[in-house]
A and B are shown apart, each in its own frame.
Chain A
Amino acid sequence: MTQSRRSILKGISLGTGGLLLTPFLRQVELHAEGNAKNLPSRFVFVVKNSGIWPSSITPEEFKLSGNNAINSSLTKAVLPPSLKPLEPFQNQLSIVQGLSGKMCRGGHTSNFGMLGVYMVGTESNPGNPLRATADAELAKLYPAPFNHVGLAVRADWGSNAYGGTMYPGISAVGPGKELPFQGSPDLAFEQLFGSAVSTSKEGEKRFILQKNLLDFMVEDIKKVEKAIPSTEKIKMDAYLNSFEELQVRHAKLAGMKSKIKDCAPRFTDKFTSLLEESRQEAHCDLAAAALIAGLTNCVTIRLDNANTVYKALGLTRNIHGIGHDEGSDGKNQSECRDIIRKHHMDLIASMAKKLKAVPEGNGNMLDNTMIIYLSDSSNKHHGDCLEWPYIIVGGCSGKLNIPGRYIRYPKYGDKGCRTIGDWWTTLLNAYGNPIKYYGNEDLELKQGGLSHAGPLAELIT
């Protein structure tokens, strides 16, 4: 029986570590070989609150055709003014509209629903995640020392929390297991780059001391193990192995020191700023640098929530107030949204620019990246989930037929309409997870015979 137990243990414990490290080493090798086909794909999920108005991101020329399905080149289109910062990347820009997500919770936030495709939680409580969200599933396909990095300016929808470890209720690495987000850019800097550079004396030591801690734990557990019946050692072994894995990761990070040092962003005031806009910038700097350093291949950024105030942009009303049409500083909701969106696009452009500057394979790193901008409340402040717009920048590793395209699906309930479950399935399939369908199915569409519950085949190369 122990044999089977042992194999279970292997599965639950060693598995993750093995997975974490081997492919990662391989990636470093591939990097050097410049083997474009096998380069890792990277993902950045940029999540805003209060919805994305579909019409506000639709180029004029596509507005005329109403609700008809469109799949057209975007490279020459005139972008709405708030999207101007993305012009330099228009060849690799995609706008995807018309996908519904009625299997998710509507209202101020869908919580994990946006990326997990199910109904969960309330406005005051994100609830218990049912399964790993799509970003986490994608992260698993391209393991790295930090498999999935979460950065947040704000926590869950109604929270006033600011800084430190946060749980915004949008991303989960498994059932019941939420991804921890770092809310303080300076701490995130320390956690990601601390093995090679540090902003303070403390930080420098922290990485070194982590080794002491792990070594101590391993010895401590071994001592306890001696005192317990041999039949139960297997349980303590699971605990022991987990620390041994971390020891290995620690050693690997130490080995990457010079690369991490080269890629670390310059530590400036914005990393300790209390201003939301500056924190957002800092997080985006960190995200790009962590990708370039090879520390991670997947970052999810929670940009704002109901309580965010864009003071530096001249808006003194919070997101919730703006969403409820209260206006701010003489501007109406639509004008406020344009200002905020333009700022978000600046942030995305700054990341794209940095990635584009790094040669990789036969092109650059942006070719192998997908930056996805989306909202946890779908299409408006009180999202109805009838449509979930996405703005995407990056070459998507050549795996998707979307760079430089404007794509719109038929409206909800019309023939050919598709869902965000289909969308995340498409991404997972394209990047190597063969799942038949990811997420809960829209039962109403199913009743009406309109549910496909499968990938958007036309988008996969």
Chain B
Amino acid sequence: MIYKRPLIALAACLSLMATLAFLHSGTSTLQSAEKKPEAKIADADIKTFESVIKPFLDTHCTSCHGSTKSKGDVTLNNISAKLAIGKDLELWNLVLKQVVLSEMPPSKEKQPSASDVGKVIDWINAELNKSGNATSLYQKLEHPDYGNLVNHEKLFSGEIKTKPFSPARLWRTSPNVFDNIKSNYGGDARSIRQPFLVEDRKGIKEYANLLFADSAVVDVLLVNAGYCADQLIQKGQIYKDIASQKSAPTRDQLEVAASQHFKKVVFRDPTKEELKNYIALFTGSAKEGIHSEALRVMLMAIMMHPESVYRIEIGLGESDTSGRRMLSSTELAFAISYAITDRHPDSILLKAAESGKLRTKDEVHAQISRMLEDESIEKPRILRFFQEFFGYNQAHIVFKDEARSGGFSYYGENYPVIYERDADFFVLNILEKDKDVFKQMLTSDEYFILNRQTFRNTVFDFYEQNKELIDKGQLTEEKSKELLKRLGLKNWKELNKKYYLHGFDRGFNGSPEVIKKMGKEIPTEGRINNRNKDKSYQVISQGMHTLYQKYPMAYDLRDGEQNFLLPQPYKRPNRAGMLTHPAWLIAHSLNDISDPIRRGKWIRQRLLAGVVLDVPITVDATIPEDHHKTLRERLSVTEAKACWRCHEQMNPLGYTFEIFDDFGRFRTEETLDKLPMVKGKFPSKPVDSRGVLAGTGEKNADGDVKDALELIHKMANSDKVRQSIIRHVFRYYMGRNEMLSDSMTLIAADKAYLESGGSFKALLTSLLTSDSFLYRKTLTKE
């Protein structure tokens, strides 16, 4: 059974680079495919090959890939018709990919009709299935790691006029939404566990097609439901009544009980049919004689309703002539709300949906603008996009050696966690301005250097400056606001969201009493670490608690070099944007070395919309040990011809970041710390950070670079880089990879971003009012 993606202007006539790419990945997956009984030759559909496929190849492919020419070493004039028994498997997989992704024939050649292309795809898939080697292509096309298989130039060329849509789908409840609604289930929210875990890895995580409610989910749901049902029966009056009364509960009582809880966890009224079933479940269970237990069963069933596990987005609105259906008002209310917030729709959105005012693009636009502008609506998903896209939120997972770093602390604090929070501030600062957002992300020099002590010291400093007023309890509202402003907060509620405070400080509310208390708590001796034993205010406000003493080193600051009072940001030399932020550098490093290859791969895939092949299974990816060589020198093994074909995509980008050590500290010399010390110092070698930017296809961008900083500045001005980021924004908000049919959506989004002067909000509005977001189409299968 094969899903048929509606395809667009397609063709044949194969060529070069991508060829090799696919051959490679194709082989490894095919080898790992399940062994199936071999098809007999009689099963092969030779007739269709002769009547449809062969003529197609002759018309569109063999002039370049035939007996006279064989571009990219691909020859199709003798390709076997016996794919069903595994003949020319790799070659056919390659043809399939070219045709599915409209890679071939080249745009300048005559294009085959969509129906011919459909026939070719059907035949290849059918024969592949017979051979027991179903293609991994479709699966890959749905996986975030392979989103770039869809040709970038084609996507943004404007030649594709297909009306965009998303496949009709189920989307598993997001863990963040669950966190916000779990209190609806009843009981103490802390005792309710997260059933909807997503894999903690780099990159965009929530893809509708990759998340299932499997038995791991059900295990947790059952424990939660049992706990919540018990709590409801103990504490909720209607449930308590049913459980404790001697007589059988009335139908009314049961209906109220069931509807009330159903509405809380499924977010709609139950249908009559559903109510009937729940009551039947109760009655059947009550035969065992105990109402409380029967009620428990009924409540548990409600809490595990399939719609509380999956949100169903199939397009219940009107159909159009191209087979698409718009989302219904209710579907839209949820889709919009879950795209912008982690909560279910607010009353305005629900009201709009109920009163039929959420049916047109303009109406959707109005709601989205309202929500984006309303500061009281939390929008954590925007920050989360940048966390997942850059992957800087994975820094805390990379363990760093305390001794090697000269004081990297894990005991009281996990330093990388704090750097991650710094990076959040960096991102939020740019989002607040909402101007040239992507360029700023890549080049801004406005860093925030925060930790728990920074907050306390700032409050202390404020106390010292306003001591008289505060001691008398006469702090005016206006003065209070000064402190808020220094901390970069709109209100005190924001404090714990923005700052990563110690439990002791989490209750801070800005009142004179707490300011005074904190002012007095700051130790004036002993624990504040400073070479200067002077107890003066000056020293205290600049000093760092021992736990945080080494923390600024990742920003190339020595102990006590800076006071870290708010407001910030700080400008740091030798840095440019997120890719030189300690959080990013640590997240993309290994335990005791940097990681040029994966950093290069990251840039190739995330910023340059490039495809890097899967590591061939035969490759032993270990770096040779040689204590006399720099990491770059050791990595020269990848420059062998067979390796370089792939490594050329990565290394020249990743090498440029060798100006930072694996803690994210700037350096010009690489310490060889496995050699013995000489005169108390490890030997070192100069850093070689030269690299090459290739693949943007832009004259001003492509070329040699001397280090990461030059690379970053070049990328920041590149169209392809901007578009590549926009593709990722699309993936995050649509929960899937783009298809060629999303071309119009992406082009419009890019335009909206450019015309607004680089506003993320404008980009988001464009995406969320696009056909890709609003329309669904049920994919056919065969």
Contact = CB atoms under 8 A, between A and B. Distances in A.
A64 interface: no
Contact of A213 (B135, B193, B300, B310): B300
Nearest to A182: B223
Contact of B297 (A124, A212, A242): A212
B391 to A, nearest CB: 16
Query: What are the 8 A-B residue pairs with the smallest beta carbon separation, nearest first?
Result: A242-B218, A1-B138, A242-B215, A238-B212, A443-B401, A2-B1, A239-B213, A176-B197
A241 B215 contact: yes
Given A4-B136, A119-B399, A216-B297, 11 more contacts: A2-B3, A13-B215, A164-B191, A176-B197, A228-B314, A232-B169, A235-B170, A246-B218, A444-B402, A447-B401, A447-B673
A167 B224 CA distance: 12
A266 interface: no
Contact of A3 (B1, B213, B400, B779): B1
B292 interface: yes
A276 B216 CA distance: 32
A209 interface: yes
Instruction: Specify which of B292, B293, B411 lies most central, judged by the most chain A CB atoms within 10 Å of its CB.
Output: B293
A232 B292 CA distance: 37
Interface in B230-252: none
B168 A206 contact: no
B292 to A, nearest CB: 7
B306 interface: yes
B87 to A, nearest CB: 20
26 contacts: A1-B139, A2-B3, A5-B139, A13-B212, A106-B411, A119-B410, A128-B200, A165-B191, A165-B223, A167-B193, A174-B216, A177-B216, A205-B289, A206-B296, A209-B293, A221-B306, A229-B778, A231-B168, A231-B779, A232-B170, A236-B306, A238-B214, A242-B215, A446-B592, A447-B403, A447-B592
A217 B217 CA distance: 14
Contact of A180 (B136, B193, B217, B300): B193
B18 interface: no
Contacts of B400: 443
A412 B578 CA distance: 39
A198 to B, nearest CB: 11
Nearest to A208: B288
Interface in A9-47: 9, 12-13, 16-17
A76 interface: no
B288 A220 contact: no
Given A106-B411, A231-B779, A235-B213, A213 B297 contact: yes
Contacts of A201: 289-290
A258 interface: no
B134 A1 contact: yes
B281 interface: yes
B194 to A, nearest CB: 8
Contact of B305 (A1, A16, A220, A446): A220
Interface string B2-25: 110000000000000000000000
A28 B305 CA distance: 36
Contacts of A238: 212-214
A216 B281 contact: yes
A245 interface: yes
Contacts of B385: none
A56 B483 CA distance: 53
Interface in A120-155: 124, 128, 130
Interface string B495-510: 0000000010000000
Interface string B276-310: 01000100110011101110110011001111011
A430 B227 CA distance: 38
Interface in A71-130: 103, 105-107, 118-119, 124, 128, 130
B778 A16 contact: no
A7 B412 CA distance: 45
A387 interface: no
A202 interface: yes
Contact of A245 (B138, B215, B301): B215
Contacts of B215: 12-13, 16-17, 241-242, 245
A7 B34 contact: yes
Nearest to A103: B399
Contact of A202 (B227, B292, B306, B503): B292
B3 A1 contact: yes
A243 interface: yes
Contacts of A242: 213-215, 217-218
B227 A229 contact: no
Nearest to B313: A232
- Of the four ranges (under 10, 10 to 19, 20 to 34, 35 or more), the interface on chain B belongs to 35 or more
B591 interface: yes
A236 B288 CA distance: 31
B35 interface: no
B212 A202 contact: no
B140 to A, nearest CB: 10
B472 interface: no
B352 interface: no
A461 interface: no
Nearest to A7: B34
Interface in A416-461: 440-441, 443-444, 446-447
B200 A176 contact: yes
Most chain B beta-carbon contacts within 10 A, residue among A106, A212, A224, A245: A212
A194 to B, nearest CB: 12
Contacts of B223: 165, 180
Interface in A156-181: 164-165, 167, 174-178, 180
Contacts of B277: 216, 220
A213 B301 contact: yes
B592 A443 contact: yes
Given A1-B3, A220-B301, A221-B306, A12 B212 contact: yes
A230 interface: yes
B401 A212 contact: no
A266 to B, nearest CB: 24
B708 to A, nearest CB: 25
B705 to A, nearest CB: 32
A165 B296 CA distance: 17
B306 A220 contact: yes
B281 A440 contact: no
A230 B212 contact: no
Contacts of A7: 34
A296 to B, nearest CB: 15
Nearest to A105: B410
A105 B411 contact: yes
A177 B213 contact: no
A209 B294 contact: yes
A221 B399 CA distance: 44
Given A103-B399, A444-B401, A228 B170 contact: yes
B623 to A, nearest CB: 15
A173 to B, nearest CB: 8
Interface in A188-241: 201-202, 205-206, 208-210, 212-213, 216-217, 220-221, 224, 228-232, 235-236, 238-239, 241
Contacts of B227: 164-165
Contacts of B307: 224
B674 interface: yes
B293 A236 contact: no
A110 B197 CA distance: 23
B168 A232 contact: yes
Contacts of B399: 103, 118-119, 440, 443
Nearest to A129: B200
Contact of B200 (A16, A107, A175): A175
A103 to B, nearest CB: 7
Interface in B407-427: 410-412, 414
Interface in B712-762: none
Interface in B658-698: 673-674
Given A175-B199, A202-B292, A209-B294, A231 B34 contact: no
A174 B593 CA distance: 28
